[in-house]
């Protein structure tokens, strides 16, 4: 499915040939995110990612960068998460050299112009305010704080207004020099390309990127339960809730079992939560669950938006579905969940951006790339008994966390509901 070469400076190149496509996607994955930040520099990874789009020596303005790619019909974007940062570009195959030039220019030669830093600081603070003004987004940030208390994993990736206001240009450049290293990065390319040709181009563009023997690591997570409930009272129409439990890490051998369990619970319109909470009881328009996996931790979270007077009823109904997972997983339901999981994976792999993300993300985080066929084999082998056993291990009442944003008067009675 892919070919890999490590350059002399430690940079890893992974390519996936997709001969039937007209596009090519390049992703540059850097193994740094918000969990690598101290509290005083919270949001610095995200800030740096924004500034890399704001001008380089060759293309001094943000408009020149975007026009270079949009002028050939391409897409340019980036993203910062808790454990990685990615810059990606998707273009027609003939424009691969341009896309590589723009991305490497941004990565190595961004200007970090002081006036641009101040403008982008204001932009990011507006982004933080926007997230806080969206109850469905904010409740997900509150639940992270309950899942990973007193740890960078529990913070908003964008940081806070206070931390972003205090980050200086010099501090950003120091962070960049210590974390943006070839030995900590992966270039992933997917599309109608040949590995040797891409290797020659990447070697020329990034072969002189210098590395350092060591870089600052991240704070390991030690399980801690500081608080189970967080309620933020707001005068809005709905009560938004996140009900969560600790899950499994990215490297755990049973992480795919968690993912399958999550599909049965709240993945899609045929899931138990959707069928019960929305279709049968009519309690919510939006109800879903998701599983997250980090290098040394994970979570399973249920989100719903409900009528405030129905909040307790909805929480009880969700907990009933969690409890039932420990007791019964019919073979027909297991088979459907497997087919949904495999089908969604195969559909994603038709797009060059998703394929670049598949190989690049795995390589930078785990240094091991599972093929689609390997993952499908793992999914196929999971049994109903394994699902129930894992549900019994994870779905423990004492580990439940609940975050609510909405017109909630009293929170005392909510904590009494957190039982399984």
In the sheet that 284-293 helps form, which strands lie side by side, from edge to edge?
229-233, 401-406, 239-246, 298-306, 284-293
Residue corresponding to tokens 């109608």: 192
Distance CA 161, CA 128 (A): 7
Residue numbers annotated as active site: 49
**Angle, in degrees to the nearest 10, between helices 372-381 and 331-348:** 170
Distance CA 119, CA 101 (A): 26
- Check residue 153 and report its DSSP letter: G
The residues, ordered by sequence, that sit 6+ positions from 267 with a Cβ below 8 Å of its Cβ are 288, 289, 290, 337, 340
Give the Cβ contact number of residue 179 at 10 Å: 22
Integer angstrom CA distances of residue 109 from 101, 146, 326, 407: 11, 39, 54, 49
- HSE (CB half, 13 Å, CA atoms) of 204? 8
Give the Cβ contact number of residue 296 at 10 Å: 17
- HSE (CB half, 13 Å, CA atoms) of 381? 9
Q: Are 245 and 393 in contact (CB under 8 A)?
A: no
Integer angstrom CA distances of residue 84 from 16, 81, 199, 343: 20, 5, 23, 27
Q: Among 291, 200, 201, which residue's Cα sits nearest to residue 248?
A: 291
Q: Are 382 and 257 in contact (CB under 8 A)?
A: yes
């Amino acid at each position: 499915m892919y070919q890999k070469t490590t350059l002399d400076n430690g940079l890893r190149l992974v390519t996936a040939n997709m001969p039937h496509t007209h596009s090519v996607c390049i992703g540059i994955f850097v193994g740094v995110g918000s969990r690598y930040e101290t509290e005083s520099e919270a949001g610095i990874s995200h800030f740096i990612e924004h500034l890399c789009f704001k001008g380089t020596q060759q293309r001094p303005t943000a408009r020149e960068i975007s026009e270079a790619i949009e002028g050939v019909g391409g897409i340019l974007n980036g993203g910062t998460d808790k454990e990685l940062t990615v810059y990606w570009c998707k273009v027609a195959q003939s424009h691969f050299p341009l896309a590589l030039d723009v991305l490497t220019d941004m990565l190595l030669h961004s200007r970090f112009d002081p006036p641009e830093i101040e403008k982008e600081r204001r932009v990011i603070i507006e982004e933080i305010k926007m997230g806080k003004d969206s109850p469905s987004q904010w409740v997900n940030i509150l639940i992270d704080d309950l899942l990973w208390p007193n740890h960078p994993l529990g913070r908003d990736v964008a940081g806070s207004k206070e931390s972003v206001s205090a980050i200086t240009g010099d501090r950003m450049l120091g962070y960049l020099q210590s974390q943006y290293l070839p030995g900590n990065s992966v270039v992933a390319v997917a599309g109608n390309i040949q590995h040797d040709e891409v290797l020659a181009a990447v070697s020329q563009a990034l072969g002189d990127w210098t590395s350092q023997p060591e870089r600052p690591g991240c704070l390991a997570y030690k399980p801690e339960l500081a608080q189970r409930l967080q309620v933020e009272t707001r005068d809005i129409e709905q009560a938004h809730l996140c009900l969560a439990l600790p899950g499994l890490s990215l490297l755990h051998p049973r992480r795919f079992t968690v993912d399958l369990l999550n599909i049965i619970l709240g993945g899609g319109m045929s899931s138990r939560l959707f069928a019960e909470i929305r279709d049968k009881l009519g309690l919510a328009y939006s109800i879903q669950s998701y599983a997250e996996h980090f290098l040394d931790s994970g979570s399973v979270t249920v989100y719903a938006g409900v009528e405030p007077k129905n909040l307790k009823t909805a929480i009880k109904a969700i907990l009933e579905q969690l409890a039932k997972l420990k007791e019964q997983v019919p073979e027909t339901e297991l088979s459907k969940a497997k087919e949904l999981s495999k089908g969604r994976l195969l559909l994603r792999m038709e797009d060059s951006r998703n394929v670049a993300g598949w190989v690049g993300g795995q390589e930078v985080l785990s240094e091991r790339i599972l093929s689609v066929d390997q993952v499908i084999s793992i999914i196929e082998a999971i049994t109903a008994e394994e699902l129930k056993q894992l549900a019994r291990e994870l779905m423990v009442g004492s580990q439940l966390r609940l975050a609510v944003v909405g017109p909630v008067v009293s929170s005392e009675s909510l904590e009494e509901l957190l039982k399984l």
